[in-house]
């Protein structure tokens, strides 16, 4: 995860106030009513003494709770930690019941779309740095979706349910989505058909302009706000130089209840004969949006703290990187050991222990075999097998001469180095 | 935790096979029978579909399970992750129900005491590097304890129970421990008194030698093995140069069932008028030992993989570091931001966005205020409040001249830098 950490450290503080997120598994009610249909995937703990507790489902709700409890109205932070979902795991695709998320969030009063654009820049930066292949960031806005649903005749009360259904469009055909809307969610077939026309749309700034002129949406206040903000967002993303990876996509809904404004999701894509195809196997690798009401839900005075954030799906990304590594058949070192301390004769364990201790104390990454009298050949093979570049060999002659034999494992060249110059020489070799 | 990570990376591989530890909360039976009296502190999950699951209590048992499941007989790794205990939390002392542990383990056939000595070296290195103050590493061996108990007339069947009771010596007086031994654990008062004589003993190599001559222990095979290994351990710790922090302490028992050989625990101490006092407030900050039977418990063929390891109590260490920081009243930066991108006039948001994007793309840690038109004074105050060393200011004149005004926040000196030389100049300033 060090790549992620580096990206995260660039402009974000370290994961502050670690404790505040984790005094104990959370009271069950903290999580109630935040996740919509997905609530059934929450892991509950057994009642072992009158406490109803659950495992956290994501990092967003705990973050919002933390802000409210500590009266924090302004913070920017990242957080890498585990979340739990009682879902059907698919190991090969990086879908687990316990998995890591990496979240970035910006909380506080800001002018429109500035932090939102930064979240998209972060996604772009991470996915580019990891060289996962081509990707696309779909963007939409809950207010635009609300406007579309309202214009299509969906009553306010059925809005969230309609959102959840539209969110399944990447897994289900439009036919099935429509059936669910009409059958389960109680929309009229006419409303569903009209929604179908809108959610097919995707494009760039031109689509935003087109919808701003759409007569059905022009009277809807929320849709107007959403579209004007979307225009602003595109302007900022242009300045960030990432607009070519952005798609304004009206089918993007995101299932979670707490989003209030812009929403986004990154997917990997494949260019095939002029056709862009989504790699549906892994699903989205990052997603997020604006949630201006969530902090207020935890505050006794309902004080709102506007927030926008993004979650990176670490396991899904790992599974893709893993596939790439396997395909390339490159041998990857699993340790960072720089020097193996070895001896050519028996009865040199004490000398090895003393030498390795000196190397450790000097901050050099060193190993030795955990045997009293290992064969020299075995020690040298170990270097070759694990990719350790140097061997520091100490035996009878070396001890007598006050030197250590330094062996370059790749070239097999050996040079006697005076003991007091050893650290310096090792550092010199490691740098070059 | 970066100090820990650095220490960990020195000679240890990265946390390999992350997934294998965490496909889901563990089957409850994985944890059964491993923790002795502490088993009551395991968090169970609610039965939500026929699966009896528990949260992990430590990192050792999951590590052993992982080795057995994957037929790994040789590995050395560190792992930083959360564990859960249904205990009474004491926030101020860094005792929580959900907390991080950092574990180091060496698994595989080794010659006696070589990896065990390395674990103690690791504890010494971490506690020294973190400058927590004076500390002591108590060392004992389960085989010596068994020998002592046997020599004092404790039957085999009551050994584990007697161990658990002795382990409470740092929290209870000897009187209370004796009462528990006799009353609850069914030992005779004579046996308890005799044990009392032994568990008072602590010292160095001299005590090992003394016990090797002890007529009561001389016939006990296990005690003999333990004492001879303890002698070897002291020899190796001498070579590692850390023997002055080690105390062979017969009262150290450690409650967990799975230890089979050497055990250890690090405590912080205070020197007061020639008396060494343990800082009991925080308890031990690190502990571990040898557990040669645990992997075999998870293997269908009961194949044993000898293991030795150490757990670092991260929260306890954090709470101590926190106290020190508060006491010193030093102001500590909570971000690593190097440059604030600012504008002196209105309507320069686009210019700021373009500039910050350039800095980000070059790997420079940059921030800007999330406002369209923030006041310059507010932007400069932000730098001073948060310790950002440089401000890159872009306004009308700068845009016209093709420069950026670079301000040193501490000295308030400002210099115009040609735009194409900006990155270079920022890097130069940050390095010096």
> Is the pLDDT at A157 greater than 90, yes or no?
no
> Is the pLDDT at A399 greater than 60, yes or no?
yes
Q: What pLDDT shows up at residue B26?
A: 56
Where in chain B do CATH 3.40.50.800 domains reside? Answer: 339-431
Q: Any CB–CB contact under 8 A between A21 and chain B?
A: no
Binding residues of A for L-histidine: 58-60, 85, 101, 105, 254, 258-259
Q: Any CB–CB contact under 8 A between A116 and chain B?
A: no
B370:A48 CB<8 A: no
Chain A / chain B CB contacts < 8 angstroms: 168
Q: Any CB–CB contact under 8 A between A182 and chain B?
A: no
Higher pLDDT, B10 or A385: A385
> Is the pLDDT at A8 greater than 50, yes or no?
no
Q: What pLDDT shows up at residue B245?
A: 97
| Whole-number Å distance between alpha carbons of B353 and B407 | 18
Which residue in chain B has the smallest CA separation from A354?
B239
| Whole-number Å distance between alpha carbons of B292 and B108 | 9
B101 is in an annotated binding site: yes
Where in chain A do CATH 3.30.930.10 domains reside? Answer: 2-328
Q: What pLDDT shows up at residue B172?
A: 86
Nearest to A389 by CA among A417, A431, A351: A431
Query: Once rounded to an integer, what is the mean pLDDT over residues A23-30?
Result: 60
Q: What pLDDT shows up at residue B276?
A: 59
A88-102, A192-206, B322-336: which has the minimum mean pLDDT?
A: A88-102
Q: Please report which confidence band the pLDDT of residue B402 belongs to, taking 50, 70 and 90 as the band edges.
A: very high
A114-118, A183-187, A329-333: which has the minimum mean pLDDT?
A: A329-333
B2-328: which CATH architecture? 2-Layer Sandwich (3.30)
Query: Once rounded to an integer, what is the mean pLDDT over residues B423-427?
Result: 97
The mean of the pLDDT values for chain B is 87
| Bridge partners of residue A138, in order along the sequence | A247, A265
Q: Please report which confidence band the pLDDT of residue A126 belongs to, taking 50, 70 and 90 as the band edges.
A: very high
B35 is in an annotated binding site: no
Q: Please report which confidence band the pLDDT of residue A43 belongs to, taking 50, 70 and 90 as the band edges.
A: confident
**Chain A residues close to B371, C-beta within 8 Å:** 110-111, 114
User: What is residue A265's three-state secondary structure?
Assistant: strand
Q: What pLDDT shows up at residue A164?
A: 82
> Is the pLDDT at B17 greater than 80, yes or no?
no
A353:B239 CB<8 A: yes
> Is the pLDDT at A207 greater than 90, yes or no?
yes
> Is the pLDDT at B262 greater than 90, yes or no?
yes
**Chain B residues close to A22, C-beta within 8 Å:** 82, 96, 98-99
Mutation target for A interface from B46, B318, B323, B361: give the one with most A CBs within 10 A. B46
Highest mean pLDDT pick, A79-83, A171-175, A364-368, B325-329: A364-368
Higher pLDDT, B6 or B16: B6
**How far away is chain B from the Cα of A130, in angstroms, using its nearest Cα?**
14
> Is the pLDDT at B19 greater than 50, yes or no?
no
The mean of the pLDDT values for chain A is 87
**Chain B residues close to A47, C-beta within 8 Å:** 46
> Is the pLDDT at A24 greater than 60, yes or no?
no
**Chain B residues close to A23, C-beta within 8 Å:** 89, 91, 96-98
Nearest to A96 by CA among B18, B55, B44: B18
Q: Any CB–CB contact under 8 A between B363 and chain A?
A: yes
CATH number of B339-431: 3.40.50.800
> Is the pLDDT at A22 greater than 70, yes or no?
no
Question: Nearest CB to B10: which of A45, A46, A360?
Answer: A360
Q: What pLDDT shows up at residue A282?
A: 64
Length of chain B: 432
Q: Give, to the nearest 10 degrees, the angle between helix B349-361 and helix A221-239.
A: 50
Q: What pLDDT shows up at residue B273?
A: 62
The answer to whether residues B97 and B55 touch, using CB atoms and an 8 Å cutoff, is no
**Chain A residues close to B91, C-beta within 8 Å:** 19, 23
Q: Please report which confidence band the pLDDT of residue A25 belongs to, taking 50, 70 and 90 as the band edges.
A: low
Q: What pLDDT shows up at residue B13?
A: 33
Query: φ, ψ for residue B259 (rounded to 5)?
Result: -75, 140
A82:B106 CB<8 A: no
The answer to whether residues A390 and A406 touch, using CB atoms and an 8 Å cutoff, is yes
Q: What pLDDT shows up at residue B271?
A: 65
Q: What is the pLDDT of residues B129-142, one digit of tens each?
A: 998 889 999 999 99
Query: Once rounded to an integer, what is the mean pLDDT over residues A303-312?
Result: 96
Question: Nearest CB to B353: which of A44, A236, A367?
Answer: A236
> Is the pLDDT at B16 greater than 50, yes or no?
no
Query: Once rounded to an integer, what is the mean pLDDT over residues A280-305?
Result: 88
3-state secondary structure chain B: CHHHHHHHHHHCECCCCHHHHCCCCEEHHHHCCCCHHHHHHCCEECCCCCCCEECCCCCHHHHHHHHHHCCCCCEEEEEEEEEECCCCCEHHHCECCEEEEEEEEEECCCCCCHHHHHHHHHHHHHHHHCCCCCEEEEEEEHHHHHHHHHHCCCCHHHHHHHHHHHHHHHCCCHHHHHHHHHHHCCCCHHHHHHHHHHHCCEECHHHHHHHHCCHHHHCCHHHHHHHHHHHHHHHHHHHCCCHHHEEEECCCCCCCCCCCCEEEEEEEEEEECCEEEECCCCCCCEEEEECCCHHHHCCCCCCCCCEEEEEEEHHHHHHHHHHHHHHHCCCCCCCCCCEEEECCCCCCHHHHHHHHHHHHHCCCCEECCCCCCCCHHHHHHHHHHHCCCEEEECCHHHHHHCEEEEEECCCCCEEEEEHHHHHHHHHHHHHC
**Among residues 366-385 of chain B, which lie with CB inside 8 Å of chain A?**
366-367, 370-372
Q: What is the pLDDT of residues A384-397, one digit of tens each?
A: 999 999 999 999 99
Its ipTM equals 0.82
B25:A98 CB<8 A: yes
Which residue in chain A has the smallest CA separation from B333?
A13
Q: What is the pLDDT of residues A234-290, one digit of tens each?
A: 999 999 999 999 999 999 988 778 899 999 999 998 766 666 566 555 678 999 999
Q: Any CB–CB contact under 8 A between A117 and chain B?
A: yes
Query: Once rounded to an integer, what is the mean pLDDT over residues B43-48?
Result: 78
**Chain B residues close to A235, C-beta within 8 Å:** 350
Question: Nearest CB to A114: which of B110, B117, B370?
Answer: B370
């Amino acid at each position: 995860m060090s790549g992620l950490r580096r990206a995260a450290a660039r402009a974000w503080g370290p994961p502050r106030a670690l404790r505040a997120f984790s005094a104990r598994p959370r009271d069950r009610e903290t999580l109630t009513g935040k996740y919509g249909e997905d609530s059934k995937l929450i892991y509950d703990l057994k009642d072992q003494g009158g406490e109803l507790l659950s495992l956290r489902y994501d990092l967003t709700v705990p973050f919002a709770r933390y802000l409210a409890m500590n009266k924090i109205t302004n913070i920017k932070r990242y957080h890498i930690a585990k979340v739990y979902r009682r879902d059907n795991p698919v190991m090969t695709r990086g879908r687990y019941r316990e998995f890591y998320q990496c979240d970035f969030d910006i909380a506080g009063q800001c002018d429109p779309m500035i932090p939102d654009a930064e979240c998209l820049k972060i996604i772009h930066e991470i996915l580019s740095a990891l060289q996962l292949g081509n990707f696309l960031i779909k963007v939409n806005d809950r207010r635009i979706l609300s406007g579309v649903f309202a214009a299509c005749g969906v009553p306010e009360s059925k809005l969230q349910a309609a959102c959840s259904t539209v969110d399944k469009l990447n897994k289900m055909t439009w036919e099935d989505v429509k059936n669910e809307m009409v059958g389960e969610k109680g929309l009229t077939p006419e409303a569903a058909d009209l929604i179908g026309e809108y959610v097919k749309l995707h494009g760039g700034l031109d689509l935003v302009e087109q919808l701003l002129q759409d007569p059905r949406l022009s009277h809807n206040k929320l849709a107007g706000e959403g579209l004007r903000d979307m225009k602003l967002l595109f302007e900022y993303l242009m300045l960030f130089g990432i607009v070519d990876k952005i798609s304004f996509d009206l089918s993007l809904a995101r299932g979670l209840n707490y989003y209030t404004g812009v929403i986004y999701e990154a997917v990997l894509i494949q260019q095939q004969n002029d056709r862009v195809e989504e790699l549906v196997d892994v699903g989205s690798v990052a997603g997020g949006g604006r949630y201006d009401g969530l902090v207020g839900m935890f505050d006794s005075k309902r004080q709102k703290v506007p927030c926008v954030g993004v979650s990176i799906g670490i396991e899904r990304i790992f599974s893709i990187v893993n596939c790439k590594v396997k395909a390339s058949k490159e041998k990857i070192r699993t340790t960072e050991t720089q020097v193996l301390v070895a001896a050519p004769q028996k009865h040199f364990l004490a000398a090895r222990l003393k030498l390795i201790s000196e190397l450790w104390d000097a901050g050099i990454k060193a190993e030795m075999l955990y045997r009293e009298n290992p064969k020299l050949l075995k020690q040298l093979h170990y270097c070759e097998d694990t990719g350790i570049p140097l061997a520091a060999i100490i035996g009878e002659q070396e001890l007598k001469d006050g030197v250590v034999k330094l062996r370059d494992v790749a070239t097999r060249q050996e040079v006697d180095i005076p003991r007091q110059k050893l650290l310096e020489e090792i550092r010199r070799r490691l740098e070059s």
